[in-house]
Amino acid sequence: MTEQRPLTDTATVRPVPTLPDAQTVTEVQHYTDRLFRFRVTRPQSLRFRSGEFVMIGLMGDPDPATGRQKPLLRAYSIASPSWDDELEFYSIKVPDGPLTSRLQHIEEGDQIILRPKPVGTLVHDALLPGKRLWLFATGTGFAPFASIIRDPETYERFDEIIVTHTCREVAELTYSREMIEGLRQDELMQELLGDGLDKLRYYPTTTREESPKMGRITTLLESGEVQSDLGLPPLDPAVDRAMVCGSLEFNHDIKALLEGAGLHEGANSEPAEFVIEKAFVG
């Protein structure tokens, strides 16, 4: 005999409230007490260019006066490439940060808000054709480059891609190191990376903790150490292109260095030899 269930009165059943522009978390991985990565479902209609950013967030606390909640949104680079079925983000955890003090606790199955309006200047369209692409990152500034280096178009456009990633401590390099190791082992990528897999080069440095290469990338570029380590000539506006993503100070210093070498800053509307974007405001 089949079990008798009470009939549901559909008129009284309300849909579970969901966030506006809600996407579901599919994976979370923590690297340090300051860094984590997570993946979410991708809105079907979302088209973006590798390197762009979107606004993401959570519902804010209720307003004490009205009880109403407003979305708490922040800019985030999409770390996954444009072909991926899901979206990946690489995030800081700011202990008192309005968003990340809460975002760091998300788990698989939770929802976040994602405004599907991608923008940004760290895109191929904003660079003139060249031979060598430098991706200069500090901290979470690697996020847009995690998208760029997983995009086959990058390897079609350039003969050589050099990723420099500078962090204070060695553990803060884990995300970029594991990704580059993974790409070198990926059968589909091996074809793009060439015989010696040397089309994608990785130059990690630390500023505080002891590691094989220590120092700020600007200092290492100025002294010529980067070029001698990698066996490359000095920066040349005829062949070198660069994307820069880091702190305000870092961006300022590297911009001066690139301009000193004769490279000009480009934009979507006017492509040139390098492009730059802040990894955060502060």
Of 60, 97, 215, 271, which one interacts with ligand FAD (CB under 6 A)? Answer: 97
How many of the chain's residues bind ligand FAD (CB under 6 A)?
A: 23
Q: Which stretch binds ligand FAD (CB under 6 A): 14-22, 92-100, 171-179, 259-267?
A: 92-100
Least Cβ distance, residue 280 to ligand FAD (angstroms): 3
Task: Map residues 15-54 to x or -, x wherever contact with ligand FAD holds by CB under 6 A.
Answer: --------------------------------------x-
Of 36, 38, 76, 202, which one interacts with ligand FAD (CB under 6 A)? Answer: 76
The nearer residue to ligand FAD, 79 or 235, going by C-beta atoms, is 79
Query: C-alpha 27: how far from its chain's center?
Result: 16
Long-range contacts (CB closer than 8 Å, 24 or more residues apart) made by 179-182: 179/146, 179/149, 179/150, 180/149
The nearer residue to ligand FAD, 33 or 191, going by C-beta atoms, is 33
Judged by CB under 6 A, does residue 176 bind ligand FAD? no
Judged by CB under 6 A, does residue 281 bind ligand FAD? yes
Judged by CB under 6 A, does residue 216 bind ligand FAD? no
Is residue 72 within 8 Å of 20, Cβ to Cβ?
no
Judged by CB under 6 A, does residue 160 bind ligand FAD? no
Of 100, 147, 205, 206, which one interacts with ligand FAD (CB under 6 A)? Answer: 100
Q: Which residues bind ligand FAD (CB under 6 A)?
A: 53, 74-77, 90-92, 94, 97-101, 139-140, 143, 277-282
